[in-house]
Amino acid sequence: MKVVIVGGVAGGASAAARLRRLDEKAEIIVLERGSYISFANCGLPYYIGGEIKKKSALTLQTPQSFKSRFNVEVRVNNEVTSIDTAAKTVTVRTAEGEYTESYDKLILSPGAAPIVPPLPGADGSRVFTLRSIPDTERIREYVEEEFPDSAVVIGGGYIGVEMAENLKKAGVETTIVELSDHLIAPLDYDMACEVHQYARSQGLNLVLKNGVTAIEDNGGKMTVKLNDGSIETDMVILSVGVRPDTVLAKQAGLELNARGAILVDSHMLTSNPDIYAVGDAVEVTDFVTKQKAYVPLAGPANKQGRIAADNICGIPSEYKQTQGSSVLKLFDMTIAMTGVNERAAKAAGLDYDKMYTFNQSHASYYPGAHGISMKVLYEKKTGRLLGAQLIGYDGVDKRCDVLAVAIRAGMTASDLTELELCYAPPFGSAKDPVNYAGYAIENVLTGKIKAFHWDEVASLPRDGSVTLLDVRTPAERENGAIEGFTGIPVDELREHIGELDPKKPIYVHCQSGLRSYIACRILAGYGFDCWNLTGGYRFYSLVVKETKAMEHPCYGTK
Ligand SMILES: Cc1cc2nc3c(=O)[nH]c(=O)nc-3n(C[C@H](O)[C@H](O)[C@H](O)COP(=O)(O)OP(=O)(O)OC[C@H]3O[C@@H](n4cnc5c(N)ncnc54)[C@H](O)[C@@H]3O)c2cc1C
* Radius of gyration, alpha carbons of the chain: 27
Q: Which are the contacts of 412, defined by CB distance < 8 A and separation ≥ 6? A: 378, 382, 383, 384, 385
Tell me the β-bridge partners of 100: 91
More confident residue, 552 or 317: 317
Query: Which one-letter DSSP state was computed for residue 497?
Result: G
| pLDDT tens by residue, 261-284 | 999 999 999 999 999 999 999 999
Question: Could you tell which of 6, 38, 42, 139 is best to mutate to test the pocket of ligand 1, judged by most ligand atoms within 8 Å of the CB?
Answer: 42
388-417 pLDDT, tens digit per residue, is 999 999 999 999 999 999 999 999 999 999
Model confidence pLDDT, tens digit, residues 28-85 = 999 999 999 988 889 999 999 989 988 888 888 899 999 999 999 999 999 999 999 9
> Does ligand 1 have an atom closer than 6 angstroms to the CB of 428?
no
Q: For residue 136, which atom of ligand 1 is closest to its CA?
A: 1
Q: Whose CA is nearest to atom 20 of ligand 1?
A: 298
Query: Measured in angstroms, how far is the CA atom of residue 540 from the centroid of ligand 1?
Result: 39
Is the beta carbon of 135 within 6 A of some atom in ligand 1? no
**Is 556 a residue whose pLDDT tops 80?**
no
Rounded Cα gap, residues 84 and 218, in angstroms: 46
- Rounded to the nearest angstrom, the gap between the alpha carbon of residue 75 and the centroid of all alpha carbons in its chain is 33
Residue 549: per-residue pLDDT: 83
- Given the CA of residue 131, which atom of ligand 1 is nearest to it? 53
Q: What phi, psi does 117 have (nearest 5°)? A: -65, 155
Q: Is the whole-model pTM more than 0.85?
A: yes
Euclidean distance between CA atoms 499 and 488, whole angstroms: 10
Give the residue-averaged pLDDT of 349-366.
96
Q: Which atom of ligand 1 is nearest to the CA of 111?
A: 27
Ligand 1 contact, 10 CB (< 6 A): yes
Ligand 1 contact via 296 beta carbon (within 6 Å): yes
Q: Return the closest-CA partner of residue 457 out of 499, 513, 501, 527.
A: 513
User: Which residue's CA is minimally distant from atom 16 of ligand 1?
Assistant: 298
Q: Kindly give the distance from the C-alpha atom of residue 12 to the centroid of ligand 1, in angstroms, as a whole number.
A: 10
Distance, CA of 156 to CA of 153 (rounded, Å) = 8
pLDDT at 554: 59
DSSP code of 428?
-
Check if the beta carbon of residue 15 is closer than 8 Å to that of residue 305: yes
In terms of C-beta density within 10 A (0-12 exposed, 13-18 middle, 19 or more buried), how is residue 146 classed? exposed
What pLDDT score does 550 carry? 79
pLDDT at position 186 over 50: yes
Ligand 1 nearest-atom number relative to CA 39: 29
**CA separation for the pair 344, 287 (Å, rounded):** 12
Which of 5, 6, 9 to probe ligand 1 with, by most ligand atoms within 8 A of CB? 9
Dump pLDDT digits (tens) for 488-528. 999 999 999 999 999 999 999 999 999 999 999 999 999 99
**Dist. CA 297 → ligand 1 center (Å):** 8
Q: Does the structure show a pLDDT above 90 at 323?
A: yes
Please name the residue whose Cα sits nearest to atom 8 of ligand 1.
Answer: 42
What is residue 332's predicted lDDT score, i.e. its pLDDT?
A: 97
Residues 298-309, mean pLDDT to the nearest whole number: 98
**Cα distance between residue 537 and residue 309, in whole Å:** 52
Which amino acid makes up residue 345?
A
| Closest ligand 1 atom to Cα of 163 | 1
- The HSE-up count of residue 41 (CA atoms within 13 Å, CB side) is 25
244 lines ligand 1 (CB under 6 A): no
**306 CA to centre of ligand 1 in angstroms:** 16
CB 394 near ligand 1, within 6 Å: no
What does DSSP assign to residue 121?
T
Q: Could you tell me where the DSSP H helices lie in 51-132?
A: 63-70
Q: What is the pLDDT of residues 215-261, one digit of tens each?
A: 999 999 999 999 999 999 999 999 999 999 999 999 999 999 999 99
Write the residue with the smallest CA distance to atom 24 of ligand 1.
111
CA distance 239 to 129: 6
Report pLDDT digits (tens) over 67-76.
999 999 999 9
- Residue 12, ligand 1, Cβ within 6 A: yes
The pLDDT of 466-475, averaged and rounded, is 98
pLDDT at 61: 84
The 3-state secondary structure of 196-207, one letter per residue: HHHHHHCCCEEE
Q: How many angstroms separate the CA atoms of 481 and 352, rounded?
A: 29
Provide the pLDDT confidence category of residue 558 given band limits of 50, 70 and 90. very low
Q: Is 407 exposed, middle or buried (CB count within 10 Å of its CB: 0-12, 13-18, 19+)?
A: buried
Verify whether ligand 1 is closer than 6 Å to residue 130 (CB atom).
yes
∠ CA 456-462-466, rounded to 5°: 80
User: Does residue 557 surpass a pLDDT of 70?
Assistant: no
Residue type, 202: Q
User: pLDDT tens-digit profile of 190-223?
Assistant: 999 999 999 999 999 999 999 999 999 999 999 9
Active site residues: 42
Query: Is pLDDT at 551 greater than 80 in this prediction?
Result: no
Cβ(30)–Cβ(64) below 8 Å: no
Which pLDDT score, from 0 to 100, does residue 553 have? 57
Average pLDDT, the chain: 96
Range 304-317 average pLDDT = 98
With a pLDDT cut of 90, the percent of the chain lying above it is 94
**pLDDT, mean of residues 147-159:** 97
**Cβ of 513 less than 6 Å from ligand 1:** no
Domains contained in the chain, CATH given = 2-113+243-312 (3.50.50.60), 127-240 (3.50.50.60), 332-446 (3.50.50.60), 451-534 (3.40.250.10)
- Mean pLDDT along residues 98-115: 97
- The Cα-based distances of 454 to 57, 97, 110, 446, 546 in angstroms read 45, 63, 44, 22, 13
